[in-house]
Structure 1
């Protein structure tokens, strides 16, 4: 198995929304905001090259939206999904599976691209994966999430007959060495890949723990539909992660890709930080 961090670029979101009830005097030290209270976040995807599979986990927001849309989120930086794949020697045609943790625009927008007047799958040979419970939430969104679930990111996959559902009723194994954790605090039935890599468990945290700062229990996003459930899910997951020495992989942290954890007198905190390249080279170098 080989694992590659794939950066789909950076964008901005409101600092207060991303940090919930945590005061700005605290979170602004972790991720300083601009004059409009906007903080920079990564859209960090993960490529898993495993046997006959080349699996891309999440796809960033893509490039097909209009100027007005991008003005809200200010995508920036030189990285794109395709350029980042190319750095590792892959093309969109090489991807066999696209695993979408959930269907918010900054996680699935890059799954679809514009070809003339048509919207088509950006990975022409890939099967796209979600689960039925989350699909129902995304295609019949509540008023609070409607702005995050965009039909142009979702329906073209169904129309192209490329969308498949994982049986995610209670999580469990998806394919060999990759299990799925189902969490419902952020949105209905978000799926977190839990990867066995050379006797190390790596958890792709998606929006349950979007950055290193969110390891701290009170740091829960205001975007979460059920923040109390997020607290319970974080507590259970972090306890297991520290006891079993897992590696956490962060999708949105602008600087830090991975960390391990430790128990301290202030609760569970970060132990070491490193890149996915460091971890991959440890075993495959």
Structure 2
């Protein structure tokens, strides 16, 4: 197995929404807001080369929306999905699997492209993977979450015939979160606080266990237990999932890969008097 960081650029979101009930006087020290109360966040995906498969985890926000849509998110940075793939010697047509942790627009927007009046899969040779329960949740969205589930990002995947579903909840052992096998070195953890049946990839890599955190822990700043996004559908569920996961992660010496942290890609954990915090920070290339 080989792992490659895929940087798809940065965007801005409201700091208060990203930190929930935590006062700005506290979170602003961690990710300072601009004059509009917006903080910068990464859209950092991951490419997994595993035997004869090339698996892309999440796809960023994409490029097909109109200028009005993008004006809300202040896209910035020089990286793109294609440039990041090319930097590692790959092209989107080589991707065999697109693994979508969940179907919010900043995670799956790059899965579909616009060609003229048509919406088509951006990865024409890939199988697209979603969880069956999450897919049903996304295509029949509740009023609070429907602004994050855009039909143009989701329905063309199914219409293409390239969609496959992960099914079931896996096996839960003690306090550990449920896991489902995907490949020999790639298993899936399901969490339900941010949205229903979000999938977190867990990878065995060079003797290390790396967990792709998606929106359970979008950044290092979200490691403290009460730091739960206002975007989360079930914040108390998120809180309990964080507690359970962080206990396991520090006991098992996991490395956490952060999709949205503006600076930190990968981090180990340490136990402090205030709880679990980031220890050593590094990049995939350091392993």
Query: Residue 218 of structure 2 corresponds to which residue in structure 1?
Result: 210
Deviation at 1:172, TM superposition (A): 1.8
Map 1:42-53 onto structure 2 (within 5 A): 42-53=42-53
Q: Distance in 1 between matches of 2:284 and 2:13?
A: 25
Asked if 1:19 corresponds to 2:19, the answer is yes
Is the contact made by 1:13 and 1:41 (CA closer than 8 Å) also made in structure 2?
yes
CA distance in structure 2 between the aligned counterparts of 1:166 and 1:175, rounded to whole angstroms = 12
Any residues of structure 2 matched to 1:71-82 within 5 Å, and which?
71-82=71-82
Which stretches of structure 1, 4 residues or longer, exceed 3 Å deviation after superposition? none
Alignment partner of 1:241: what SS? Answer: helix
Structure ranking higher in helix proportion: 1
1:186 equivalent in alignment to 2:191: no
Distance 2:17 2:274 in 1: 24
**2:274 aligned residue (260, 263, 266):** 266
CA distance in 1, matches of 2:246, 2:168: 21
Give, in angstroms, the shift of residue 142 of structure 1. Answer: 0.2
Which has the larger displacement, 170-179 or 79-88? 170-179
Q: Work out the number of aligned pairs and report it.
A: 279
Corresponding residue of 2:176? none
Supply the distance in 2 between the matched residues of 1:278 and 1:153 (Cα, whole angstroms).
34
C-alpha contact (below 8 Å) 2:10/2:42 kept by paired residues: yes
Unpaired runs of 5+ residues, structure 1, are 280-285
The alignment's C-alpha RMSD in Å is: 0.7
Q: For structure 2, which runs of at least 5 residues remain unmatched after alignment?
A: 171-178
* TM score, norm. by length of structure 1: 0.97
Matched, 1:35 2:35: yes
Report if aligned partners of 1:168, 1:182 keep a CA contact under 8 Å in 2: no
Tell me the equivalent position of 1:167. 167
Q: Structure 1 residue 276: deviation in Å?
A: 1.4
Determine if contact 2:133/2:167 at 8 Å carries over to the other structure.
no
Deviation at 1:243, TM superposition (A): 0.4
Aligned partners of 1:270 and 1:257: how far apart in 2?
11
Matched, 1:221 2:229: yes
Tell me the CA shift for residue 168 of structure 1.
3.5
**Superposition map of 1:25-174 within 5 A:** 25-170=25-170, 171-174=179-182
| Structure-2 separation of matches of 1:191 and 1:70 | 26
- C-alpha displacement of 1:180: 0.5
Deviation of the 1:269 alpha carbon: 1.1
CA contact (8 A) 2:190 2:199 kept: yes
